[in-house]
Amino acid sequence: MNPRYVPLAATVAIFLAAYALCFLQYPNMLSTRVIGNLLTDNAFLGIAAVGMTFVILSGGIDLSIGSVIAFTGVFIAVVLENTGLHPLVVFVLALGIATLFGGLMGAIIHHLEMPPFIVTLAGMFLARGMAFVLSIDSVPIKHPFYAVMKGFYYRLPGGGRITLIGGLMLLVFVVGILIAHRTRFGANVYALGGGAQTARLMGVPVARTTIEIYALSGFLAGLSGIVFSLYTSAGYSLSAVGVELDAIAAVVIGGTLLTGGSGFVGGTLIGILIMGLIQTYITFDGSLSSWWTKILIGLLLFGFILLQKGFLYLSKNKRRFA
Amino acid sequence: MQGNDDIILSATGIEKVFPGAKALNNVNFQLRRGEVHALLGENGAGKSTLVKCITGAYRRDGGKLVLDGAEIDPRDTFEAQRLGIGTVYQEVNLLPNLTVAENLFLGRQPRRFGLVDAAEMNRRARALLSGYELDVDVRTELSSCSVAVQQVVAIARAVDLSGKVLILDEPTASLDAHEVEMLFAIVRRLKSQGLGVIFITHFLEQVYAICDRITVLRNGQLVGTRDAAALPRRELIAMMLGRELGDEIKQAGNAQASEGAVRYRFRGYGRKGHIAPFDLEVRKGEVVGVAGLLGSGRTETAEILFGAEKADSGTAEVDGKPIDISSPRTAIRHRFGFCPEDRKTDGIIGDLSVRENIALALQARRGWARPISRAEQDRLADRYIAALDIRTSDREKPIRLLSGGNQQKAILARWLATNPEFLILDEPTRGIDVGAHAEIIRLIENLCEQGMSLIVISSELDELVAYSRRVIVLRDRAHVSELVGEEVTTSHIVEAIAAADKREAGQ
């Protein structure tokens, strides 16, 4: 097998094995209801994780995602409460702000040659702070259009539902996969992850690509914020704390190398589903504390880091004795 | 030899001034269609500056560039590439995590309906590489290809992008003999297609193997351009150095060198899969040379002697007492030193200063609990900077900013600072210029006169002959022959390497 598929194959194998184990204990786990809920409950995280995948593939990191989700939610709730604007108009505004915010961070990272970690950390505090400026309280969203959107779903045989947001996540993944593997922008993202200096010498527009990557991540965080507001019907500045870390975990479990340059957007979907599966299992069990989710994800992450190290070690040795 | 003046690239009166130094002074350079033209000179002679002025990496301060009859003024390497000048560097400037095809077409992938058409891209990549006699699947990741294949892919990309002039900047430095031959076959083919090739290298044999003409620079000035066939090697070296390198080649080996007692004795020493068990004796004040082709087990021998790889058979003795060398730490405790081959990855720590790099091994031997005082470090660094003539503006300069030869000397200084009695040098003169070459050789001879025992691994046979009293010849990861005294000549070594039947080592 081509070595670049090994981490992805490991992820898929773990997912299938885990699902099989769950199914043996609780045959209901395979019902379309569970699958539908798995998609709906993880929609906002999945959408944000697609953006994070691009950032990590390029060798960067984006810590601002959770804060941008919260800011977008509060922004939508506050604007809907205080103006007569239609939600779709507000969505466009929110996406514009989030994209601009991401692009700005990308520009700072490139032009001031600052590490992405620090720049997006600043972005994280800034976005969270702006959310608090808009409102300290949880602002409920009562617009009738929200009820309409929640009413959209596709009923699966067996009673499960692909909701609007669950479907949107799948669509984002499909588009994300196309962008990553079938566009020049996608190739440039991988090129940056392989080595920014070399990529520049080979004619990759490094400045434009970096800005576009973080703008894309901002855009998807904004979209994730919209989905989150649909999911919770409220905007709250303290929500979505630490979502960026969950997204990073999903990306790494999905088989993308944290050093950049290698991985698949599709793998991130599996990573999200594995994390959702663990959550679902714990809900089914009923007796386990929900913190077991964190423990299992921690162990899984650790396992994947070991896998990546072992994989790098093997490929290095192979070349040495080739 | 072409008689007509079919010039594809001509540079006249090129000037380049850096703050405080004139890097190029009125340099003229002419490249014909369908020729391979060597650009030679010691480090700092201005070859890379000239190339950078041609490729637009530097803006020249004066002079004229004419490509194919039209005056050009490239502002950056992309513009030069568009105009028809492509460059391939020693470190392959491609992306290891992309496939061969993606590397060839990055930024210009064929598209259908706005999406990259991978099938079409792979087809074009195969068509492009078909002329290079390369047997690779264009869908494999570049990192899984050998350096030679990567180098060929880089050339294919450069030629495809530019197509008039190809500049090869030390492309062979990390290739073995077979791979170099493969590369040369490609260069010859490109030459027959009418491409002008500029070839920069440190290996003079390669210059004679492939180049039609030679241009030599020294101190930013043009020394001359000659036909390779009409320029004997000695004269070429004289042109490069501006002086006769009197002791470049010594005729016979150091037969009269010391007959001291055997200090280091290794019996049946080896490790499965690395190097077959061998016997080796090293006397006090003796240089033992190690010769063999790349991959014959030279580096493996060094690693096992230094404990970097653990031996799984045999014994080691110092002065008749058995010792245990299972790790570099224990080896250092027995006053062993080892300068590895690839100084960029195994030797220097680029961001640390010259001083810190020199003090490193001594500090490691003393243990971290007993730091070397700053004053002592300064003294140490200054002493070796002076003793080995390490050219650096001051001892606090990050070592990566030094030239290759000076980095090599700093690594030597690191081990000399520990006062070793047994020093292993792996390719001490690789990738450094001719002048520094001679200095390192002189240094080796001095160390040996002071009573140190050395093992020197080198692919430069002339060099081995110059300083070794005995030469061990390796083949297929085994010691196959040992030449002593009068026997030590280049032709004997070549014979021993080439010999089909194995003579037993150490009679």
Residue B360 belongs to a domain:
yes
* Position B1 in a domain: no
For B321-368, what is each residue's pLDDT tens digit? 888 888 888 888 888 888 877 665 667 777 888 888 888 878 877 777
- List b or e across B181-204, with b for residues whose CB sees 16 or more CB atoms inside 10 angstroms: ebbbebbeebbeeebbbbbbbbeb
The reply to whether residue B146 touches residue A202, judged by beta carbons under 8 angstroms, is: no
Contact criterion met (CB < 8 Å) for A2 and B78? no
Q: Which two tokens stand for residue B196?
A: 């002008």
Instruction: Report the range out of B20-24, B40-44, B330-334 with the highest average pLDDT.
Output: B330-334
**Is B93 within 8 Å of A184 when comparing Cβ atoms?**
no
The predicted pLDDT at position B1 comes to 41
Angle (nearest 5°) at CA A37 between A32 and A41 = 160
Long-range interactions of A104-110: CB distance < 8 A, separation 24+: A105/A62, A105/A64, A105/A214, A105/A218, A106/A210, A106/A211, A106/A212, A106/A213, A106/A214, A106/A215, A107/A207, A107/A210, A107/A211, A109/A60, A109/A210, A109/A214, A110/A206, A110/A207, A110/A210, A110/A211
Q: DSSP readout, B196-227? A: EEEEE-S-HHHHHHH-SEEEEEETTEEEEEEE
Interchain pair B107, A204: CB under 8 A: yes
Q: What is the ipTM of this complex?
A: 0.84
Q: In angstroms, rounded to a whole number, what is the distance separating the alpha carbons of residues B442 and B250?
A: 12
Q: Which residues contact A212 (CB under 8 A, 6 or more apart)?
A: A103, A106, A185
Closest CA to A137 of A73, A69, A44: A73
Q: What distance in Å separates the CA atoms of residue A282 and residue A292, rounded to the nearest whole number?
A: 8
The answer, for B178 touching chain A at a CB cutoff of 8 Å, is no
Is A190 within 8 Å of B116 when comparing Cβ atoms?
Answer: no
Neighbouring residues of B171: CB distance < 8 A, sequence distance ≥ 6? B88, B89, B90, B151, B155, B183, B201
Q: How far apart are CA B61 and CA B16, in angstroms?
A: 5
Ramachandran assignment for B35, one of left (phi > 0), alpha (psi -120 to 50 degrees), beta (any other): beta
Which of B411, B446, B462 lies at the terminal end of a domain, its last residue?
B411
Residue B213 and residue B164 share a domain = yes
User: Do the domain assignments include residue B343?
Assistant: no
How many domains is chain B built from?
Answer: 3
Closest by alpha carbon to B295, among B450, B177, B164? B177
Q: Does B95 sit within 8 Å of A199, measured CB to CB?
A: yes
- The reported pLDDT for the residue numbered A185 is 95
Q: Which residues of B17-26 are buried (b: 16+ CB within 10 A; e: fewer)?
A: eeeeeebbbe
The reported pLDDT for the residue numbered A318 is 54
Contact A71, A233 (CB under 8 A): no
Query: Sorting pLDDT into bands at 50, 70 and 90, what band is A249?
Result: very high
Whole-prediction pTM: 0.71
Where do the DSSP E strands lie in B6-145? 7-18, 21-32, 36-40, 62-67, 70-72, 85-88, 111-112, 115-116
What pairing do the DSSP bridges indicate for beta strands B165-169 and B470-475? unpaired
The verdict on B112 touching A (C-beta cutoff 8 Å) is: no
Question: CB neighbours of B110 closer than 8 A, spacing ≥ 6?
Answer: B116, B117, B120, B121, B124
**Structural domain containing residue B368:** 350-411
pLDDT mean over A241-270: 92
The count of CB pairs under 8 A between chains A and B is 68
Residues B273 and B385 reside in one and the same domain? no
C-alpha–C-alpha distance, residues B199 and B210, integer Å: 9
SS3 string, B106-156, reads CCCCCEECCEECHHHHHHHHHHHHHCCCCCCCCCCEHHHCCHHHHHHHHHH
Q: A184 and B96: CB-CB below 8 Å?
A: no
Give the length of chain A.
Answer: 322
- Which of A190, A202, A256 is the best mutation test for B, with the most CBs of B within 10 A? A202
Rounded CA-CA distance A8/A4 in Å is 8
pLDDT band of residue B5 (cuts 50, 70, 90) is low
Nearest CA in chain A to B147: A319
Whether residues B33 and B75 fall in one domain: yes
* pLDDT of B247: 42
Give the alpha-carbon dihedral of B412, B416, B422, B426, to 10 degrees: 0
The answer to whether residues B127 and B197 belong to one domain is: yes
Are B406 and B502 members of one domain?
Answer: no
Q: What is the pLDDT of residue B442?
A: 81
The DSSP H or E segment spanning A127 is helix A116-134
Report CB contact under 8 Å: A178, B78: no
- Collapse the DSSP code of B253 into the 3-class scheme (helix H, G, I; strand E, B; otherwise coil) and give the result: coil
- Report pLDDT for B243: 54
**Mean of per-residue pLDDT scores for chain B:** 81
**Phi (first) and psi of residue B168, to 5 degrees:** -110, 110
Tell which phi-psi region holds residue B349, choosing left (phi > 0), alpha (psi between -120 and 50) or beta. beta
Place of tokens 């850096």: B18
First to last CA, chain A: 17
> How far from each other are the two terminal CA atoms of chain B, in whole angstroms?
51
DSSP letters for A170-196 = HHHHHHHHHHHHHSHHHHHHHHHHH-H
Burial label, B417 (beta-carbon count in 10 A; 0-12, 13-18, 19+): buried
User: Does the beta carbon of B94 lie under 8 angstroms from any beta carbon of chain A?
Assistant: yes
Mean pLDDT for chain A overall: 91
Distance from CA of A98 to the nearest CA of B (A): 26
Residue B503's pLDDT is: 41
**In this predicted model, what pLDDT tens digit does every residue of B361-417 receive, in sequence order?**
788 777 777 888 888 888 888 888 887 778 777 888 888 777 777 787 888 888 888
Residue B78 at interface with chain A, using a CB cutoff of 8 Å: yes
Q: What is the CATH number of domain A3-317?
A: 1.10.3470
Closest CA to B217 of B85, B82, B48: B48
The answer to the question of residue B341 being in a domain is no
Instruction: State how far the Cα of B55 lies from the Cα of B80, in Å rounded to an integer.
Output: 5
> Are B368 and B315 part of one and the same domain?
no
**Residues B153, B293 within the same domain:** no
Mutate to test the interface with B, among A182, A185, A321 (most CBs of B within 10 A): A182
Same domain, B377 and B442: no
Query: Would you tell me which residues 117-146 of chain B have a C-beta closer than 8 angstroms to some C-beta of chain A?
Result: 118, 139-141, 143-144, 146
Q: Does B486 lie in the same domain as B371?
A: no
Q: Which of A181-195, A265-279, B278-292 has the lowest mean pLDDT?
A: B278-292
**Cα(B140)–Cα(B298) distance, integer angstroms:** 31
- Residue whose pair of structure tokens reads 């892919």 in the numeric block: B153
In Å, how far from its chain's centre is CA B134? 25
Give A144: exposed, middle or buried? Use CB within 10 Å, 0-12, 13-18, 19+.
exposed
pLDDT tens track for A3-29: 678 788 888 988 999 899 999 998 888
Whether B451 is in a domain gets the answer: yes
| Bridging pattern class, strands B85-88 and B165-169 | parallel
Give the domain-ending residue among B192, B213, B241. B241
CA of B59 to nearest chain A CA: how many angstroms apart? 17
Same domain, B428 and B319: yes
Phi, psi of B414 (to 5 degrees): -55, -45
Residue B344 included in any domain: no
Q: Where are the domains of chain A?
A: 3-317
Of A182, A203, A315, the CB nearest to B107: A203
Same domain? B76 vs B223:
yes
pLDDT-derived band of residue A165, with 50, 70 and 90 as boundaries?
Answer: very high
Residue B499: its pLDDT value, please? 65
Which token pair is B475?
């083949």
Do B191 and B59 belong to one domain?
Answer: yes
The mean-pLDDT minimum among A55-59, B234-238, B273-277, B312-316 falls in B234-238
The reply to whether B460 falls in a domain is yes
pLDDT at B320: 83
| Domain assignment of residue B216, yes or no | yes
Among the three residues B215, B241, B267, which one is the final residue of a domain in this structure? B241
Question: CATH code at B289?
Answer: 3.40.50.300
pLDDT average, residue stretch B43-69 = 85
